[in-house]
Chain A
Amino acid sequence: MKGVVLWPEPDRVPLARSTNTNEFAAYTGVAGRVNRWVAKLGIKGKRVVMTDTPAPRFIHFLGAFGAGGLITLMLLTNGTLAQYGSLMFSSWVPHLTGTALAIAILLVLRPVRTSPKRPPLWAYLGGVSGGLTVIATSAAMNSALALSGTIALGLAGQIAFSLFADARGLFGLPQRMPNLRDLTGLGLIVAGALVIIFWGGGA
Chain B
Amino acid sequence: MITVIGLAVGAGVLVGLSRQLNGRLALSTSAMESSFWNHIVGLAFVSVLALAIGGLFEGAPMEAPWWAFLGGPIGFMFIAAGSWAINRIGAAQTAMLIIAGQMISSVLLDASMGVSGNIWARALGVALILGGMWVTRAAKAKP
A: which residues have CB within 8 A of B?
Answer: 10-11, 13, 15, 23-24, 46, 48, 53-54, 56-57, 60-61, 63-78, 80-81, 83-86, 88-103, 105-106, 109, 111-115, 117-120, 122-137, 139-140, 143-145, 149-150, 153-163, 165-166, 170-174, 176, 178-179, 181-182, 184-196, 199-203
Interface contacts beyond A96-B72, A102-B40: sample of 7 additional A-B pairs, CB < 8 Å, sorted by A: A64-B94, A92-B46, A102-B76, A143-B7, A185-B96, A192-B130, A192-B132
22 contacts between A and B (CB under 8 A): A13-B27, A60-B84, A61-B140, A68-B98, A68-B99, A71-B105, A72-B109, A81-B64, A81-B69, A95-B72, A98-B79, A106-B32, A123-B25, A136-B8, A156-B12, A159-B96, A162-B95, A165-B92, A166-B90, A170-B20, A173-B23, A189-B96
A77 touches B67 (CB 8 A): yes
Measured CB to CB, the nearest residue on chain A to B65 is A80
A98 touches B75 (CB 8 A): yes
B136 touches A130 (CB 8 A): no
B: which residues have CB within 8 A of A?
Answer: 1, 4-5, 7-25, 27-47, 49-50, 53, 55-65, 67-79, 81-82, 84-107, 109-110, 115-118, 121-122, 124-140, 143
B16 touches A158 (CB 8 A): yes
B85 touches A84 (CB 8 A): no
Give complex CA distance A48, B143 in Å: 8
Choice from B75, B92, B106, B117 contacting A159 with Cβ under 8 Å = B92
- Supposing A81-B61, A126-B41, A192-B126 touch, asked if A157 and B9 sit within 8 A by C-beta, the answer is yes
B36 touches A106 (CB 8 A): yes
A126 touches B89 (CB 8 A): no
By a CB distance below 8 angstroms, the chain B residues around A139 are 4, 7
B135 touches A70 (CB 8 A): no
